[in-house]
Amino acid sequence: MKAIMVMFDSLNRHMLPAYGCDWIHAPNFKRLAQQTAVFDNAYVGSMPCMPARRELQTGRYNFLHRSWGPLEPYDDSVAELLCNNGVYTHLVTDHQHYWEDGGCTYHNRYHSYELIRGQEGDPWKGQVKDPEHPDMLGGHRAGKLIRQDWVNRQYIREEAEYPQAKTFAAGMEFIRTNADQNNWFLQLETFDPHEPFRAPENYRALYPHDYEGKHFDWPPYSRVTQTPEEVAHLRYEYAALLSMCDAYLGKVLDMMDELNLWEDTLLIVNTDHGFLLGEHDWWAKMVQPFYNEVSRMPLFIWDPRSRMQGVRRSSLVQTIDLAPTLLEFFGAAIPEGMQGKPLKETIASDQSVREAALFGIHGGHVNCTDGRYVYMRAPATATNEPLYNYTVMPTHMRTMFSLEELRAATLAEPFAFTKGVKPLKTQANSQVHYHSFGTLLFDQRYDPQQNQPLEDAAVEQLMIDHMIRMMKDNDAPIEQFQRLGLV
């Protein structure tokens, strides 16, 4: 048996043909939907990138105990568990967060890996002189990322030089080299269509439009203040990059056909989260409630055992289900601490694996859905306190914890999942703006665009009950209940 995961970053469900979009050029995503089970109620768990990947590895929520960071020594990594059970694992990725301080323990869990350089502000090429670039709109909060990105772009001109192209080429080399072997798992993961939305001209030509404004392919993480023409232009830039993703997905599907891998190979096509492109008058993610454009993700799975293709699955599933799904497929034991469930029977017959699901970001809203209702519980006060990080790997995204943080740290009592280890407890940075959005409740049956918050005390209490139960099941620290006003 073999397994291939093709993973994208910031892949928008609502911009794919299988989920109702009729203007994006994505024939291979349409073809994928015809050959797999398509999940209509797949949700993120922990946001954003590396928290989602910790869930992908461990099969349990991250966001209630800590923010962005590496795998912990007490974590059960699906890649490592497969290695220990005789399954060869290989990672090919251009997702540069893996080799930052806050992601440095993930890729070493695989037997082997290839890291493709050059995405976003990856500190790849060295240049002392500031690079030339056009007058721009938007951009990232950290100016040094923009500077480095324009240094990198000088070395990425032809399509074959793009990190995504190199990533898929390396992944397909692994597939071709090992197609006649048994017991392997390939995670082929590209950073695209994450911002900045840069694609070769042949994909941009698919979306002709009049635009004479400033260069704009990197949205800010903020409210929309741009003109309608600028907003439309950026959506077309995203669409072009999505069409590039579609083209390279098609190469994998072609190889599956050529090598007859459909007979014995599990195929998972997924993402970590979506992205706001002006919907709800916001760009991006993380700085606003997690509306469906971000939290409700696309998911496609082919299981050669049940051979379900061209079918829809309405059961509520999450990122945490992917690790146990892989373990079950290869006949490996699923650790007791994994909260996710294997999806074998969900793929085969839409068997439910959960009544409700949690999702969120550390220090933000805690969100709950039962598939129909989405409940977003805001911090009870503007101070958004108390809030702590629990970790024995004290790093943030691109830095280690400061000496001040470490001097103030204490040892907490072990959680159920830390296997007797007392983690460091440090004061977390409160995101005070989350309180200003308030608590929100949506009925997706009648308001799928989440434009009209619902006021229904009975439904709210039902969702609160789900939330409290699942937070307790996750061994959430008491201050999370206090922060949300649930005690």
Q: What is the pLDDT of residues 316-350, one digit of tens each?
A: 999 999 999 999 999 999 999 999 999 999 999 99
The whole-number average pLDDT for the span 40-45 is 98
pLDDT in tens, 357-379: 999 999 999 999 999 999 999 99
Does the pLDDT at position 387 exceed 70?
A: yes
| pLDDT > 80? residue 140 | no
Would you say residue 126 has pLDDT above 90? yes
pLDDT at position 344 is: 98
pLDDT of residue 429 exceeding 90, the answer is: no
Share of the chain above pLDDT 90, in %: 97
The string of pLDDT tens digits covering residues 182-216 is: 999 999 999 999 999 999 999 999 999 999 999 99
| Band of pLDDT at residue 430, cut at 50, 70 and 90 | confident
Grade residue 432 by pLDDT with cuts at 50, 70 and 90: confident
Per-residue pLDDT reduced to its tens digit, 291-306: 999 999 999 999 999 9
Task: Answer whether residue 141 shows pLDDT above 70.
Answer: no
Q: 231-253: per-residue pLDDT in tens? A: 999 999 999 999 999 999 999 99
| pLDDT over 90 (residue 139) | no
> What is the model's pLDDT at position 124?
98
- Could you tell me the pTM of the whole model? 0.97
Least confident of 140-144, 316-320, 436-440, 458-462: 140-144
pLDDT at residue 270 in the model = 98
For residue 435, pLDDT beyond 70 = yes
3-state secondary structure the chain: CEEEEEEECCCCHHHCHHHCCCCCCCHHHHHHHHHCEEECCEECCECCHHHHHHHHHHCCCCCCCCCCCCCCCCCCCHHHHHHHCCCEEEEEECCHHHHCHHHCCCHHHCCEEEECCCCCCCCCCCCCCCCCCCCECCCCCCHHHHHHHHHHHCCCCCHHHCHHHHHHHHHHHHHHHHCCCCCEEEEEECCCCCCCCCCCHHHHCCCCCCCCCCECCCCCCCECCCCHHHHHHHHHHHHHHHHHHHHHHHHHHHHHHHCCHHHCEEEEEEECCCCEECHHHEEECCCCCCCHHHHECCCEEECCCCCCCCEEECCCEEHHHHHHHHHHHCCCCCCCCCCCCCCHHHHHHCCCCCCCEEEECCCCCEEEECCCEEEEECCCCCCCCCCEEEECCCECCCCECCHHHHHCCEECCCCCCCCCCCCEEEECCCCCCHHHHCCEEEECCCCCCCCCCCCCHHHHHHHHHHHHHHHHHCCCCHHHHHHCCCC
Please give the pLDDT value at position 142. Answer: 63
Per-residue confidence band for 25, with pLDDT thresholds at 50, 70 and 90: very high
User: Which pLDDT value is given to residue 371?
Assistant: 97
Q: What does the mean pLDDT of the chain come to? A: 97
